[in-house]
Structure 1
Amino acid sequence: MVTGDKTVLRLVGRSFVGFEQALAEQAAAFEQAYPGVKVELTFREPQALYESTIARAELASGDIDVTLTLTDWLPEAMQRGLLVALDPLLEQAPPEGWPDGWSPSLRSLQRDAGGRTYALPYHDGPMMFIYRRDLFEDPREQSDFQARYGQALRPPETWSEYLKIAQFFTRPEQDLYGVVAAGLNDAHNNVYDFMIHTWSRGGRLLDDQGLPIFHDPIAIEALQFHVDLFNRYKVVPPEAKELDSVASGACYASGRAAMMVNWCGFATMAEVPEQSRVVGKNGLGLIPRGDSAHGAHTSINVYWVLAVAAGSAQKELAYAFLRSTASPALDKVTALNGCIATRYTTWRDPEILRQFPVYSTIEAVHKSVDSPPPIPQWPAITEILNVAIDDALHQRKSVEEALTWASAQARQLMEAR
């Protein structure tokens, strides 16, 4: 689109201060390299972004050139032809270091069954265990924990240890809680937490025929544990049922929680002085595992990507923006704005490692990750899980009733499509 003497490149993505700041800098750099171009940035909340760009197919309308989108949504977007396959452009002018400059786990989810690539990684997860190192290493806290439980205070290996530590640090009179978790029914962290609790106990989401088994005993155990953190044990802040991932990360950064399992981007938030009261006090580790022999440390591999909209009339220019933003210098800009960069060069950058210790752990976490099923129906199934998990969290249904309903609804949806 041309406005006045400028060609306007329109980007639509998720509203989040880190994304907005980083993309503003990256857009300015692109405008400097392309003086005749103006990059117009629009940001929406996750559900609104999915509904507008994919469910209502705005990516095919011609009103968008570039989208910042979630890998969960890609199977549907690729199946419906809403994105441009980048392979010819990647062959002609790949980003510097492509593809080996990125972890294989950050290159797989944007490929279709035919091996075509539809996006470049922009912001990485994964989820990690994040904790207040200053509390864990405090001699008085260590002595009190040893006296109460007969064992040393250390980062938990298992979920039972996690609960014990959460109970120890829950002190409402001090406005301190053992854990903060995001309970908001936004089909985001509430669903991802359920998945991690299930996988880390050796459970799975689909059976051998590819049908949902959310009512499997391991999954029921997993969600019951999560629900109990809020309702039975009350180790989370009272408002946690209304917090999304961003707000829960801010709650941790304010110093009100001893631990959280959250996106590693919120570990970087906790190291930004303007956003955090716990700068330099944080530790990182692997997510706890289930207590049984089937338990394993795991994380969720979901990430944000930049893609070219199928309806764009300026696809090559849109790809040039993707390529520019994926450069080593501009990937580092992503990190410096509190997001999680995706290139090895940034993960290993001494300046980044000094400011954001999370990058010293990220490669190890990526060696044991799982992802939501890569099926076009998954966004709709996520909405079903969103309802079920919220019903269980607010105790409108038992965990077993909620997950049995979710399995039945998801199976009906898959059979209908």
Structure 2
Amino acid sequence: IYSYLARNFLVDITKTLKDQPDLKAPTYDDANFTSFANYFKDASGDLFGVPMEAFLKTYLYRKDLFDDPKIKEAFKKETGKDLKPATTHAEYTEIADFFTKYGKDNGMELWGTTAQAHTGHPASWYEFFESIVPTFGVYNWGIDAKNNYAATVEHGGAMNSDKAKAALKYWLHLRDIAPPESTQSTWTETATTFAAGRVAQGLIYGENAAWIASDPAQSKVVGQVGFALPPLEPGVLDDAKAGKGYIGYYDGGAFGVPVTSKNKEASLLFLEFIGQNEVQPDWAIAAPRITNTATFDDPKVKEMDVKLGGFYTMLKDEGKLFAGAPPYPFHAQVREATAPIFYDILTGKIGPDEGLDQMAAKAEEELTSLGYRK
């Protein structure tokens, strides 16, 4: 949306409803939205999009596997530790290694983790920059907008920092011990992999979490799914609580009205309709996305929250620790400029350290070309 705002593509919803009060529905108020709506506002606080989905990318794990006495005993024997959801990357890796080996040793179609590691789709680029490096303490893609849009360590950025390189090696190892479909997996395939019972844990977009946990027509692991915060490096949670960073991706979207629309008034009425408190609960149950604060307290949503093991409660209580995309008008340009190098890393054409060095340099080159970096 930031590229749209920079080019004045969208109708200012706040201003339009103020200038044309006859369009303002009495049951619509943008104060009803969660803080996620802030991602669709300009610098003055005017709203340019009505949120239609908002969810976290969270850590899912198989409760039936983690609670299985035989598996718990085997894990304890092999590692000397109790089997429980990971809170650090070292713990997550240890659990992933264990389950991949356990599956192989027991002739099971079971691996230790998902990996959204497609070798030619931006889903892999997004997994790394939005879900993996933040947990190592690298935020906003490693680009410092306040420091002349630096991306390289040489100029004050962090895209090729030691933390970013450690994050990439961690993730590439997970890719190597994940199911074979992982090298062609986007956000869709990681969900179907988890739902098929092929992994013990993984990072999954919240839009898929509810059906994985509750719909037997689509999932083989109904009632067996647990939710937790992503594994983190020391200090990252403190950064998030202090507003200096975040622990993962707060995904979602909004409906806006293009300035070229021939039916602006009708479009705004539709946006007001979907933004009403009374419309939201059924939508929230059908897909685990909540955009209005009142939705959390709806009886039907509370009932589903129990079935999902507290997924909505996590969204309500911990959502503030996650973040959406950085407010970059150059979002697509930098992604497209650096993605080919990233794919070369994934296919082994270039090493991870050298690849991140090249990506950071390429990002600065693109930002200079676009006029952001001076």
TM-score between both structures, scaled by the size of structure 2: 0.85
**Number of aligned residues:** 339
Residue of structure 2 aligned with 1:223, choices 156, 168, 173: 168
Residue 118 of structure 2 is aligned to residue 180 of structure 1:
no
CA drift of 1:398 comes to: 0.8
1:303 to 224, 246, 252: 252
In the aligned structure 2, how far is the partner of 1:261 from the partner of 1:341?
Answer: 19
Please give the alpha-carbon distance, in whole angstroms, between the structure 2 residues aligned to 1:221 and 1:119. 37
Q: Is the 8 A contact 1:136 1:142 kept in 2?
A: yes
Mapping for residues 352-391 of structure 1, pairs under 5 Å? 352-356=301-305, 357=308, 358-391=311-344
* Residue 196 (structure 1) aligns with: 131
Q: Map Cα deviations across residues 251-272 of structure 1 (whole Å, 9 max, x no partner).
A: 1111111111121122112122
Code of the residue aligned with 1:86 in structure 2: it is I
| Structure 2 CA distance for partners of 1:298 and 1:95, relative to 1, 3 Å | farther
Aligned to 1:250, which of 192, 196, 199?
192
Match of 2:363 in 1: 410
Which residue in 2 is equivalent to 1:280? 223
1:319 aligns with 2:268: yes
Q: Say if 2:10 is the partner of 1:83.
A: yes
In structure 2, relative to structure 1, the CA distance for the partners of 1:197 and 1:134 (3 Å cut) is: same
Q: Check if 1:206 corresponds to 2:143.
A: yes
Q: What amino acid sits opposite 2:281 in the alignment? A: K
* Cα distance per residue 1:183-205 (max 9 Å; x no partner): 12322353233333222122231
Greater shift, 83-92 or 307-316, is seen at 83-92
Moved more, 397-406 or 353-362: 353-362
SS in 1 for 2:131: helix
Relative to structure 1, the CA distance from residue 295 to residue 348 in structure 2 (aligned partners, 3 Å threshold; closer, same or farther) is closer
The secondary structure found in structure 1 opposite 2:251 is coil
Residue among 149, 152, 155 paired with 2:79: 149
Alpha-carbon contact 1:194-1:222 (below 8 Å) kept:
no
Give the 3 Å change call, closer, same or farther, for CA 112–411 of structure 1 in structure 2: same
Match of 1:134 in 2: 64
Identify which range, 312-321 or 139-148, moves more after superposition.
Answer: 139-148
AA matched with 2:131:
I
Q: Deviation of residue 103 (structure 1)?
A: 2.1
Structure 1 segments unaligned to the other structure (5+ residues)? 1-73
1:343 to 284, 288, 292: 292
Deviation at 1:313, TM superposition (A): 0.6
- Report the alpha carbon displacement of residue 337 of structure 1 after superposing the two structures with TM: 2.6
Summarize the Cα distance change of 1:305–1:180 in structure 2 as closer, same or farther, 3 Å threshold: same
**CA-to-partner distance for each residue in 1:59-101, whole Å, 9 max, x for gaps?**
xxxxxxxxxxxxxxx0101111221111134443267463332
Residues 1:379 and 1:142: Cα distance change in structure 2 (over 3 Å): same
Residue 321 of structure 1: CA displacement?
0.9
Deviations 1:272-323 (A, max 9, x none): 2221111111111111102x45566712223211111221111010011111
* Superposed displacement of residue 224, structure 1: 1.4
Q: Secondary structure at the match of 1:177?
A: coil
CA distance in 2, matches of 1:178, 1:206: 32
Q: Which amino acid aligns with 1:102?
A: F
Per the alignment, residue 264 of structure 1 pairs with 206
Aligned residue identity for 2:169: Q
Query: Do the aligned residues in 2 keep the contact of 1:223 with 1:399 (CA within 8 Å)?
Result: yes
Q: Which has the higher helix share?
A: 2
CA–CA distance in structure 1, aligned partners of residues 285 and 324 of structure 2:
26
Matches of 1:259 and 1:108, distance apart in 2:
31
Deviates more, 1:84-93 or 1:358-367: 84-93
- Conserved 8 A contact 1:249-1:262: yes
Q: Relative to structure 1, is the Cα distance of residues 338 and 275 closer, same or farther in structure 2, using a 3 angstrom cutoff?
A: farther
Whichever residue aligns with residue 78 of structure 1, its letter is: L
Tell whether 2:91 aligns with 1:161.
Answer: yes
Q: Any runs of at least 4 consecutive aligned residues in structure 1 with deviations exceeding 4 A, and if so which?
A: 292-297
Is 1:230–1:393's contact at 8 Å kept on the other side of the alignment? no
Name the % identity: 23
Q: Residue deviations 1:339-361, cap 9 Å, x none?
A: 41322232333322333521121
Say whether the 8 Å CA contact 1:392–1:398 is kept in structure 2.
Answer: yes
Cα shift at 1:240? 0.6
Cα pair 2:288 2:312 within 8 Å, conserved = no
| Match in the other structure for 2:242 | none
Distance 1:151 1:416, change over 3 A: same
1:114–1:353 distance in 2 versus 1, CA, 3 Å: same
Aligned in 2, Cα 1:95/1:388: closer, same or farther, shift over 3 Å?
Answer: farther
Residues 1:103 and 2:34 are matched in the alignment = yes
Residue number among 106, 118, 138 corresponding to 2:48 in the alignment: 118
Match of 1:50? none
- CA distance in 2: counterparts of 1:136 and 1:263, whole angstroms: 21
Distance 1:134 1:387 in 2: 39
Cα deviation, residue 174, structure 1: 0.7
Give the structure-1-normalised TM-score. Answer: 0.76
What is the RMSD of the two structures over their aligned residues, measured on CA atoms? 2.0
